[in-house]
Structure 1
């Protein structure tokens, strides 16, 4: 059986296209009382950008706390907040921000339509009812969250996405002007998430012509942005993120992402930093990619955090390993069906201890 996967149904791209968001949302406001939930990264709460959000009087703006990786418990709180705001479901949920804000918007739109806690749905195809209409406006580029069928969440026992066709956004608004002025390290680490997506997808055992086509174009764009500094780097990074996200729709990521999930769950590292930390120790598996990654770090004067696992208790180290091992599709993509014989607990422990 071939995967019949869901894609974002509507996309607008171009500098200044954010100004069309109000018109786009007007098609969802079928009643005069229809309201939209804007779930916006809290970094914009005291910025000029706040005044550009096309919120109507009846709408709800939530300033999402993205200091930590998205948690299932936080999603549950946000859902209750929306339900307390109105007894009706919103006409739409719009996530504005980086990967965390977009993942929160996905999760809230899903959980407004499905019972229980977000933690109940961490896994593959557990969601039973379609989400509330939801849209994304990325203000960071690299995660591919704008096109993926996953909302990555940290639950009480594991870090694992809600993977479902219902997770996919109905609309995305790709305005390169919105990623201008991002702090350099955040820009770099988020972009490296995209670059590492491509390395892992293109070297994976699940690779086919569909994934390869998107992955190779995304890789080319990443190289331009991080090794050549083109004048239109924001436009190119935004498209690299889009293509990078598409490349894993028919493929998967690999060793780095699996290890990053463990780092994030135990140490609270943000996804992009966690990927970068882990990737720097994976030359054995991705030699060309790691060498090029180090060239990019050197060019942009990025210094990775070191000795993160030093002094960590055995209990926390074992939990890191547990979280990484849950992600069997990632390991299989990287190492094949016999991955468990290659990547033992001892091997994973040794990799973590180097970090």
Structure 2
């Protein structure tokens, strides 16, 4: 693999283990000062009526709550709206932006924390190293395991023209709280889809041309953990959730040192045109990729059968040619992903009609 030198960044601090969430207030107070003494909480709407969790969040009258609906993919237009809401809330900047939930809530918190200190429209920062100013101190609290958003240098956003992340060293959360108790209420189907997001991007990393020893080590161990969880080798739910949190950390680190591939390129097309949620979209796409990732596909189908999860089918059956072509264009534009799959001459190995045929099968 040929690539530019880069010194990679990981989250500045981790807190891992049962009960870690109880210490959120201590971590926030370390960042407050007399000028910046309030907090923005960007929380998954799942917790809106979960008083047993919400009452544990250390809030005061100055703080701002923004509820994040996880049904839709993160959008640049909403990042801009959340930024404006924060800037209008107090006369000073917040000390901390907390993102709590799945990948959607965490990516919104990462992107919004950056846009508070960077001018303009968030769509103009979709790409690599376009952010110039460090953002507000960001604490992420995953409540589902698999996306890797909590350790990723990317905040994935759907803009008016493309789905592409804000990706730079500043996007990495400053601090992450990993508390497996927060995963206890995750639905079995959501647990599977998000876990498979982790499994799939590991498969793509391991089979890509960009893989190196560091990325390989993270991806192999991450998938070992995923397979133990989803082939039911761990009967204790808390221990399984704790293990998936570790798998998510390692999977997120793997794609920092490597790259995703065919599945993610196509799932971005589904997300932009049909609004398909990321984890579900990856499973829909991977269900058609036995020719590209045969070993990973076999394990995926084994885990699916054991978990009893039905993967949606026929979602493109009523799509127009225009919609299918738009999906193709979104996917085709993700050159770095195709480069990872096939190498710099990737256009000699894949074409738009082949991609369109894959979408038609979904």
TM-score band w.r.t. shorter chain: over 0.9
- Contact conserved, 1:309 with 1:352, CA < 8 A, in 2? yes
Aligned match for 2:34, one of 31, 36, 47: 31
Distance in 2 between the 1:302 and 1:255 partners?
22
Give unpaired runs (5+ residues) of structure 1.
none
Aligned match for 2:309, one of 302, 307, 313: 302
- Contact conserved, 1:3 with 1:250, CA < 8 A, in 2? no
Distance in 2 between the 1:260 and 1:193 partners?
11
* Residue 169 of structure 1, CA deviation: 0.4
- Contact conserved, 2:36 with 2:93, CA < 8 A, in 1? no
Q: Deviations over 1:312-346 (max 9, x none)?
A: 11111111011111211111111111111211101
Query: Partner residue of 2:203?
Result: 199
Distance in 2 between the 1:145 and 1:32 partners?
30
Structure 2 SS opposite 1:248: helix
Equivalences, count? 355
* Residue 2 of structure 1, CA deviation: 2.5
TM-score normalised by the chain length of structure 1: 0.98
Structure 2 SS opposite 1:87: coil
Query: Partner residue of 1:113?
Result: 117
Whether 2:342 is the aligned partner of 1:332: answer no
Whether 2:9 is the aligned partner of 1:6: answer yes
- Contact conserved, 2:35 with 2:92, CA < 8 A, in 1? no
Structure 2 SS opposite 1:228: coil
Whether 2:212 is the aligned partner of 1:208: answer yes
Moved over 6 A (4+): none
Whether 2:71 is the aligned partner of 1:71: answer no
Distance in 2 between the 1:3 and 1:279 partners?
30
Distance in 2 between the 1:50 and 1:8 partners?
25
TM-score normalised by the chain length of structure 2: 0.96
Distance in 1 between the 2:37 and 2:131 partners?
25
Structure 2 SS opposite 1:322: helix
Q: Give the root-mean-square deviation of aligned CA atoms.
A: 1.0
Give unpaired runs (5+ residues) of structure 2.
none
Alignment of 1:224-243 (within 5 A): 224-230=228-234, 231=236, 232-243=239-250
Query: Partner residue of 1:134?
Result: 138
Structure 1 SS opposite 2:9: coil
